[in-house]
């Protein structure tokens, strides 16, 4: 078995460390293979008997194997199991069975339980294989998807980069000297590079939207509870949700529909939406607030000029499409004072389960100590303020009459690999807050948001914009994102070979 391959039976971690290989900027580039079809296109080709699941899954595994030394997107593969499931999907398709994703290869993030594989969540050390699938994976399988593997995440999903001693550095297909973002960086790198048609990530402070922005993808952070986080009932004190990354709005919506739905023990159970249908719907004429000023982070961060240029151009596109766009300023207040206790308490809860705490990053151990101090009464008080935060920030929609809030997804383009190496916990927090000050408030609120590609810097690095809405507004956001996509055709742009 090659070093980039593991099975459910053996379960060893994929441990490629591309920083020790030939430097990506100097490596010999080979002509790219034909693009992998997207999620909806793959499902259509399978339903029409134009291809087979075995062919699609084998192709995905070959692409992953070839890209692993450079991009290092995957922690675990299910090569043997996935090919066996693909063969079974082909038998079901030949018998006339049809499901939304029957036979289509997808990937999930390594914070998500897949039976037979350990859930490392970016950490070093050995973990036993999960005995059952998470609810989201169970639903993906029920829709017919073939899970080909688990993608890299930074340690406990804390940071907007995907690097660590457990697995090395996951790299950006647009420029491997730069991060794809985090913490769903492995999923973003895999989709942007065309290794899989789509992948599931998770978003606790922008961890779907940030890597989507930095890899030119659509990334949906759904309403809290839309996609179950079971076996966790309230992951990271209600901040974290699961959501899709894909190259098109329709593909992201299709994956969202397949993964959505509650586990019987879930605390949050919003009514169902029809995301894929919304991707084919006219959004109507909307009032859109454009906000440049991020919430207070004490960093003085504002958007990089190239980010501002790209998001301003996207706002002009929205106006040209008939929407009313004007600058506004959401009343964020001191929302960060409630985010910090919830985030650090969540890290502490996950870190306390690690069987070898000494293997955790010193910054994780610092967050564990902070989260332990801020747990209990402080975190309960922070969560109790959410209702008032809904009213204050929701006034942008309720009182001011806006339908959508538009902001940059990040303040900066993707940093270089190693930017955060050897920083203290405090310096890491300050540096990432300056680069990524826009995404996390919507995790506190539990409301939906979508990253859409906004273009590129002059050096060719992707940047993104957020479409944010009030509670349960996914369908409106998806319809608006699809309208933008029809006009801008961002899916025509692919990373260089």
Cβ–Cβ < 8 Å for 144, 104 = yes
Cβ–Cβ < 8 Å for 415, 161 = yes
Cα 450 to its chain centre, rounded Å, is 10
CA angle, 102 then 105 then 110, to 5°: 125
Active-site position among 6, 109, 150, 187: 109
Active-site position among 207, 228, 366, 473: 207
Cβ–Cβ < 8 Å for 376, 401 = no
Is 42 one of the catalytic residues?
A: no
Q: Distance between CA 219 and CA 211 in Å, rounded? A: 8
User: What residues does 164 pair with on adjacent strands?
Assistant: 168
From edge to edge, which strands make up the β-sheet containing 146-151?
74-77, 146-151, 105-109, 198-203, 241-246, 218-221, 449-456, 462-468, 404-408, 287-290, 324-327
Q: Which residue has the tokens 């961890």?
A: 207
Is 183 one of the catalytic residues?
A: yes
- Of all helices (H) and strands (E), which one includes residue 359? none
**From its phi and psi, is residue 225 left (phi > 0), alpha (psi between -120 and 50) or beta?**
left
Q: Distance between CA 194 and CA 198 in Å, rounded? A: 9
Q: Distance between CA 49 and CA 71 in Å, rounded? A: 32
SS3 content of the chain, % helix, strand, coil (to 5): 40, 15, 45
Active-site position among 183, 189, 202, 366: 183
Q: Distance between CA 430 and CA 398 in Å, rounded? A: 33
Cβ–Cβ < 8 Å for 158, 206 = no
DSSP output for 179-236 = ---SSSHHHHHHHHTTSSSEEEEEESSSTTHHHHHHHT-EEEE--TTSB--TTSSSTT
Which of 58, 59, 61 minimizes the C-alpha distance to 74?
Answer: 61
Token pair of 287, please? 């009032």
Cβ–Cβ < 8 Å for 495, 193 = yes
Q: Distance between CA 231 and CA 234 in Å, rounded? A: 9
Which residues are the active-site residues? Answer: 109, 183, 207
């Amino acid at each position: 078995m090659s070093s980039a391959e593991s099975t459910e039976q053996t379960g060893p971690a994929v441990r490629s460390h591309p920083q020790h290989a030939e430097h990506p900027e100097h490596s010999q580039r080979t002509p790219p293979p034909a693009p992998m079809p997207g999620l909806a296109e793959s499902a259509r080709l399978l339903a029409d008997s134009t291809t087979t699941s075995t062919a699609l899954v084998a192709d995905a595994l070959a692409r992953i194997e070839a890209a692993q030394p450079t991009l290092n997107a995957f922690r675990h593969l299910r090569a043997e199991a996935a090919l066996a499931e693909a063969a079974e999907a082909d038998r079901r398709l030949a018998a006339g069975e049809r499901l939304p994703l029957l036979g289509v290869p997808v990937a999930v993030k390594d914070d998500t339980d897949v039976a037979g594989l350990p859930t490392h969540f970016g950490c070093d050390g050995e973990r036993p294989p999960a005995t059952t699938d998470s609810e989201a994976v169970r639903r993906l399988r029920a829709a017919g998807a073939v899970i080909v593997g688990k993608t890299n995440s930074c340690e406990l999903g804390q940071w907007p980069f995907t690097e660590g001693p457990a697995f090395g550095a996951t790299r950006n297909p647009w420029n491997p000297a730069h991060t794809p973002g985090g913490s769903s960086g492995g999923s973003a790198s895999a989709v942007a590079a065309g290794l899989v048609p789509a992948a599931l990530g998770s978003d606790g402070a922008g961890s779907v939207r940030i890597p989507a922005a930095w890899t030119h993808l659509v990334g949906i952070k759904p309403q809290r509870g839309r996609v179950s986080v079971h076996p966790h009932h309230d992951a990271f004190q209600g901040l974290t949700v699961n959501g899709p990354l894909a190259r098109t709005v329709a593909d992201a919506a299709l994956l969202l529909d397949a993964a959505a739905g509650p586990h019987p023990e879930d605390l949050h159970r919003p009514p169902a939406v029809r995301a894929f249908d919304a991707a084919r719907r006219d959004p109507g004429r909307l009032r859109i607030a454009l906000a440049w000023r991020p919430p207070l982070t004490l960093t003085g961060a504002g958007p990089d000029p190239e980010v501002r240029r790209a998001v301003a151009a996207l706002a002009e596109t929205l106006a040209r499409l008939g929407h009313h766009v004007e600058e506004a300023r959401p009343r964020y207040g001191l929302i960060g004072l409630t985010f910090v206790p919830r985030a650090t308490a969540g890290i502490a809860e996950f870190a306390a389960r690690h069987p070898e705490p000494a293997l955790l990053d010193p910054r994780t151990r610092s967050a564990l100590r902070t989260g332990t101090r801020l747990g209990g009464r402080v975190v309960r008080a922070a969560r109790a303020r959410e209702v008032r935060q809904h009213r204050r920030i929701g006034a942008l929609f309720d009182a001011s009459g806006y339908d959508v809030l538009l902001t940059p997804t990040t303040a900066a383009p993707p940093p270089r690999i190693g930017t955060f190496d050897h920083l203290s916990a405090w310096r890491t927090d300050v540096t990432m807050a300056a680069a990524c000050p826009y995404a996390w408030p919507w995790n506190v609120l539990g409301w939906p948001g979508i990253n859409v590609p906004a273009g590129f810097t002059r050096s060719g690095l992707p940047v993104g914009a957020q479409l944010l809405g009030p509670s349960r507004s996914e369908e409106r956001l998806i319809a608006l994102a699809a309208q933008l996509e029809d006009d801008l055709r961002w899916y025509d742009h692919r990373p260089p070979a």
